[in-house]
Chain A
Amino acid sequence: MSIERTGIAISPGFSVGNALLINQAKTVVERRKIKSSEIVKEVNKFQSAVEVSKNEIRRMKLNIDNEYKIEHIEILDFNILILEDEILATEIIELITKKQINAEWALNEVLTNKSKEFAFVKDLYMQERLADFYYIAERITKNLRGLNQNFIQIKNNTILVAHDLSPIDALKYCKNGKVNGILTDLGGTTSHTAIIARSLGIPTIMSMIDISTLIKPGQKIYVDGYKGKVKWKVNKVEKDELDILKKDYLSFQKDLFKFSKLSGETKDKKTISIKANIEISSEVRMASKYGAEGIGMYRTEFLFTNNEIFPSLDEQFNDYASLFDENLFDEVTIRTLDIGGDKIQDYTHLENNPALGLRGIRYSLANPATFKTQLNAILKVVEKKNKKIRILLPMISNLIELDKSIKTIKEVQDSYDIDPNLISIGVVIETPSAVLLIKEICDSVDFVSIGTNDLIQYTIAADRTNETLEDIISHYQPSVLRMLKLIKENVPKGTYISICGEMANDVNCLPLFVAMGVRELSMNYYSIPKIKKVIHDLSLKDCENIFNQCLELSTPKDIKDELYNLIKNKLPIYGSL
């Protein structure tokens, strides 16, 4: 009998592949079967790594010389005791021997189980000791690798299975095109890993609770990223059914390509420009293929966080210039660095609450050299390529930041010989504060782009990476609609409004944006065809009516149903896909 599990469909597509299990606390651990002849070697490897770790801590002890010397030494002694613990060592060695798995995984598994035991302990003091277990595991793992550099090899047709996956790791593993599916226990729709998976077109399902413990390494898995379903251990009959399903999906994809050629025009000839959000410059080709009329937002974070050090002016210049390769687009939008929030990486300093911390424009203004290098690279591309670039400023929450940012741009711009018409400046409206200041903001810039992901997160005060809040953090919340209404009513007439969050690719929400009079929708390229298809069947009048009706409703479900009723007949065959 086959086994089926369901999660949240994150990135559409249908694929078949073999499971690669990876575990990621801070370092990534692979689960690997070892041969019986390798057991002794693996156990020795583990024991040496423990010894090395112990010696490291002992050396640390010798070097401590401060006013907390006694306390610090006690903490280190506690860590040494964990390393010397017979029970722990025995359990790990047993796991290596009996299950024939690699030392790294065995260590990780045993320590994870131990920390679960402690998680029930109510005593806070005890709970805090959990951190020590993680550090110890990290240390031994590092030393295991030091003894035997064993990097994970990605084979063709790999389905990544993980408890959790960071955006950076997702990018790292998926860049060679060998991964054709991602399954994780945690994670939600608007996490950056989800955005990456969609941008790379990898069928992905998240919030699968315990999938990483159910699937065995190498297991052949069917991933239905449209419906959020996973199947394995299928029999002959089921396999045939799945093959038919795969064909259906392929013909659906063909239709989408037909729709991609359409223009973004409503029944009553209102034109909305349909553009793509991209994460990596090379995505311009995919964007163009799916019918994008421009790049509505190039998020530059991955260019920055992909390396140990920030990219130089030249590196950035080459990257931004490549957006115009093959002359696919005449105009692109580059969002300046939006580092922070869930995108923060270890080399940036840690904050208690990064989503509310030094991120976006705040980071850029606090690090003027970084900001100016990025602006120089952008403006140099405009000068050399003679193409139009829109600069989009993230996380503006007050007018002083806006003023400073514009001044900095103008200052950098002075050293280039550029036709001023080739540069425009926009602001991402993603804080409630920016919504309240929308009128003043619009007076100073050329356009605004509503970043719905963060606007929702900050409006509802719910962390968008917390999968237990998935229901609360819906873009169908009445408060989100009120935000849109506030924007609609307060922007100066003729303002160029774009939508650049995930909400832009939800067909149900399309009537809301038509009613708001937005001029542009920017989304993951794979959503462009269906949006283009639906927009042709809408009229401004219908959209305005439904916007007003939705404003009367009080629950996300009612609002979603109301919108879906209008849309469902416009996408007859594939319904909610």
Chain B
Amino acid sequence: MKRKIKVSNKLGLHARASSKLVNITNQFESEIKISKENLEIDAKSILGILSLAASKGTEIEINITGNDEEYAMKKITELFDSKFGEDS
């Protein structure tokens, strides 16, 4: 399943946000990819996420395939929606 999400936290997918994202993606069996423009990366890799260099306002697409894809998508969306807990 796919979903488009806008990065809305102030600092974008920087080190701390990437760390949080990786900690979540690694809890799932499904294959999780994130793409930005033509670049697609493995969302279970901190390096992959950092190399996206997704700053605030960037539109990314999350693509999950596997048994637990729905729950994974839910958790990931929540994380983005919470702005990685940094703006609260």
Contacts and interface: CB of A to CB of B under 8 A. Distances in A.
A87 B45 contact: yes
B50 A126 contact: yes
Contacts, number: 52
B46 interface: yes
A82 B44 CA distance: 11
Given A77-B19, A81-B19, A117-B51, A123 B12 contact: yes
Contacts of A87: 42, 45, 47-48
Contacts of B16: 74, 78
A99 B18 CA distance: 31
A85 B19 contact: no
Interface residues of B, number: 19
A129 B47 contact: no
A117 B51 CA distance: 7
Contacts of A129: 14-15, 50
B76 interface: no
Interface string B15-57: 1101100110000000000000000001011111011010100
Interface residues of A, number: 19
B14 A125 contact: yes
A6 to B, nearest CB: 35
A118 B46 CA distance: 13
Interface of A, helix, strand, loop or mixed by DSSP:
helix
Interface of B, helix, strand, loop or mixed by DSSP:
helix
B46 A82 contact: yes
Interface string A47-90: 00000000000000000000000000011011001100111100
Nearest to A81: B46
Given A74-B16, A123-B55, A85 B11 contact: no
B12 A85 contact: no
B14 A86 contact: no
A121 interface: yes
Contact of B53 (A74, A78, A121, A132): A121
Contacts of B23: 81
A125 B11 CA distance: 8
A298 B45 CA distance: 54
A125 B18 CA distance: 13
A285 interface: no
B19 A86 contact: no
Q: Which 7 A-B pairs have the closest CB atoms?
A: A87-B45, A121-B53, A81-B46, A78-B15, A78-B19, A85-B45, A129-B15
Interface of B: 11-12, 14-16, 18-19, 22-23, 42, 44-48, 50-51, 53, 55
11 contacts: A74-B19, A78-B15, A81-B23, A86-B44, A114-B47, A114-B51, A117-B51, A123-B53, A125-B11, A126-B14, A129-B14
Given A123-B14, A125-B11, 17 more contacts: A74-B16, A74-B19, A78-B15, A78-B18, A78-B46, A81-B19, A81-B23, A85-B46, A85-B47, A87-B42, A114-B47, A118-B51, A123-B55, A125-B12, A125-B14, A126-B53, A129-B50
